[in-house]
Chains A and B, each alone.
Chain A
Amino acid sequence: MTTETTTPQAPAAKGGPDGEESLLSRFTQNLWAANSVMVTILSIVLAVVIGAILIVVSDATVLAKFAYFTARPSDALTASWDLISVAYADLVKGALGDPEAFAAWFDGTGTWQQAFGPLSETLTYAAPLVFTGLAVALAFRGGLFNIGAQGQAVIGCITGGIAGFTFGLPVGLAMLVAMLCGALGGALWGFIPGLLKARTGAHEVITTIMLNYTSALLLSWLVLQKGIQDPDRTDAISKTVHEAAQLPSFGGVLRVHLGIVLAVLATAGVAWLLNRSAFGFELRAVGSNQHAAKTAGISVAKTYALLMAIAGGLAGLGGATQVLGTAYALTPAVAGNIGFDGLLVALLGRNRPWGTLLAALLFGALRAGGNRMQSYSGISLELVTVLQALIVIFIAAPALVKAIFRLRATRLTRPGASLVKG
């Protein structure tokens, strides 16, 4: 899932007489070395296998066939296989596209919108996760656990949403202002724990968790207030965001909007910030050893405060994307779980910007596919949550994956950013 690869540099011990390995053997050796790409892929495989078992266990009719397994094992096995393959096929169709829909499009009985609908869903779900994932990943590289991405995203929803339905600005500008407001709101919400950490040493995990509650309660109070609440409704829903402020989308079945493009740009921006800018160097220095960084003349306090503000801004953008791209109005649960999913996404992406992007796409695909799996084959949506959790558990416990698949120890240790080392 990451761009990291282990380049074989060790001299070939078991190579030919002239000391050169064949390309194939080098490839296979490399493949089974325990680098993080391999661990990630195998974690996903393991999660899918366990998920398959859960699918079978949760289906009463298939499970009943296991009662006479010794008499006729083929019954139980065929039924299990059918169930699992249909379920996972729906997961994939719901995430990437249904071949039938493509066929219908080509022979004219369907539309291209229907064919690309699933892909659009994947990208729609992924967009906010990219932002919240980056918010967690970036903070972590600076040595901070930003558990507050959820709260920052909620504030981003609030400020972005309010800006979206309050200001009557022309197309383009309105959207820009609303997104900016979302980023600023999130940045402020991130800055508070950053400042507290820098000034008083208050642990950011505690303060960000508390601010999560604060923001959630603020939102549910706010949507019932005059001027925010939709005057035509008595329930907790705000006015609708002006069309000019909404992120442009294809409309109809295709919900995908500009947010995903912005998410890719944000990823590139964070990658640049982290690897190419002076601040990125400082934050990485603080992240690996704050005492050494301090000795080297880097202001740790300033780095913490600024880092949390930027991370909060990213999460705020995620929240704003959600309101301006898909929901169009504030409700108490408008942010859903994007902040907490962002934590998982960052973990899965090994706290690297592009890795986070890919992880968010995978999570988006699981969510989109999960909807179809639930609707078509009646597999509970909780399975998707279980899959997500399992993948992350295996990622966080690479020793387990290595033991299961008997991977070779990696030959090249890199200064990693993996959480297990942290």
Chain B
Amino acid sequence: MVTDTGGIDDKSFNASAWAGMQAAKTEVSNIVPKNVVSSSEADYEPNLQGFVTQDCNFILAVGGLMITSTQKIATAAADSQFAIVDGVVAGASNVYPMQFETHQAAFLAGYLAAGYSKSGKVGTYGGMKLPTVTIFMDGFADGVAHYNQAKGKNVQVIGWDKAKQNGTFAESFIDQSKGKSITDTLVSQGADVIMPVAGGTGLGTAQVAKDSAGKVSVIWVDQDGCKSAEQYCDVFLTTVVKNIEGAVKEAVIKGAKGEALTATPGYQGSLENDGVSLAAYNSFDSKIDSTLKTEVETLKADIISGKVKVESVSAPK
């Protein structure tokens, strides 16, 4: 697999994809996972090409930023099997797209946050204005709106305006102090449940929540916070899980067995196939009202059945 410029230890999608590859190896022992890190965008093509030259059975490009490079290399190397996380390469039958309907799970998180909030205000912010980030924020905002509509309440979302597609961004996925200062601002505006969609920057939010002694709680993203950032487990209300690891593992195993990976429709992670989900409530299990829990479960079923529609401009098409 080829990482994007985030590197292999980004505690986000590169790390998840790599974990998926290694998990595949434990299941099918003849898989030899290899990774190369791209230090700049100019590295994408040579790195992908390097794996083509080595005759790899399955070449994974991680991240939507690599779409153009993957398209170029995959068209030239029609015999190799490619896959891409968070992107789709139009017209290339040998590129298996892996996309996630993250807004569905974030919708549940938004509903839960609105129901759990005591101040009537919830907050969110992103690492950077990328579609893979704002899709969380879209779903979250819609989930809150759905709660307001169902209960006749007026819970506000601070930090993201879905209609304008505009909000608060840290411009970093690693800067914890930036995450802290943004969170302080959100808290001073009255938010008591905050969802940072910003990788390592979000740890700053977790720290603020920890210092608040229970007043502020956090909704984590990507991987269950109680596993990926254990030290803050007691502030995580829940996690909007995007199961890149599972999807990659499955695709790698199929690729290794020589099974066909069809480019259309490719992999669409949704609530239905557990590609995206809401993690366990962990330490908040006893604090969340049981009717709220049931409502979230019903809502999940409704989204799967299509009764409740969740939309986002950033959603995979």
A residues with a Cβ closer than 8 A to B are 114, 117, 121, 124-125, 220, 224, 234-237, 252-253, 255, 322, 326-329, 331, 333-334, 336-337, 368, 371-372, 374-376, 378, 380-381, 385
Contacts and interface: CB of A to CB of B under 8 A. Distances in A.
Contacts of A378: 34
A227 B258 CA distance: 44
23 contacts: A117-B49, A124-B42, A125-B42, A234-B131, A235-B131, A236-B128, A236-B130, A237-B65, A252-B76, A253-B76, A255-B46, A322-B42, A334-B41, A336-B39, A336-B42, A371-B36, A371-B43, A374-B47, A375-B34, A375-B36, A381-B37, A381-B39, A385-B39
Interface in B175-215: none
B40 interface: yes
A235 B128 CA distance: 10
Interface in B146-202: 171
A328 to B, nearest CB: 8
Nearest to B171: A220
Given A220-B171, A381-B37, A255 B45 contact: yes
B41 A121 contact: no
Given A371-B46, A375-B34, A381-B36, A331 B131 contact: no
A328 B69 CA distance: 11
Contact of B54 (A117, A337, A375): A375
Contacts of B314: 234
Interface string B1-19: 0000100000000000000
Interface residues of B, number: 29
Contacts of B42: 124-125, 322, 326-327, 336
Contacts of B40: 333, 336-337
B119 interface: no
Nearest to B46: A371
B317 to A, nearest CB: 10
Q: Which of A125, A235, A329, A334 has the most CB of B within 10 A?
A: A235
A333 B41 contact: yes
A331 B4 CA distance: 13
B138 to A, nearest CB: 11
B266 interface: no
Given A234-B313, A235-B130, A236-B130, A376 B41 contact: no
Given A235-B130, A336-B42, A380-B37, 8 more contacts: A235-B64, A327-B41, A328-B68, A333-B40, A336-B40, A371-B43, A375-B54, A378-B34
B129 interface: yes
Given A333-B41, A334-B41, A374 B46 contact: no
A286 B40 CA distance: 37
Contacts of B41: 327, 331, 333-334, 336
Contacts of B54: 375-376
A322 B39 CA distance: 15
Interface in B50-86: 50-51, 53-54, 64-65, 68, 76
A102 B129 CA distance: 46
A328 B5 CA distance: 18
A254 to B, nearest CB: 11
A253 B49 contact: yes
Nearest to B5: A333
A337 B50 CA distance: 22
Contacts of B45: 255, 326
Contacts of A237: 65, 68
Contacts of A253: 49, 76
A125 B41 CA distance: 12
A252 B54 CA distance: 17
B37 A224 contact: no
Nearest to A98: B53
A220 B128 CA distance: 10
Contact of A371 (B34, B47, B64, B128): B47
Interface string B288-317: 000000000000000000000000011000
Q: Which of A224, A328, A333 has the most CB of B within 10 A?
A: A333
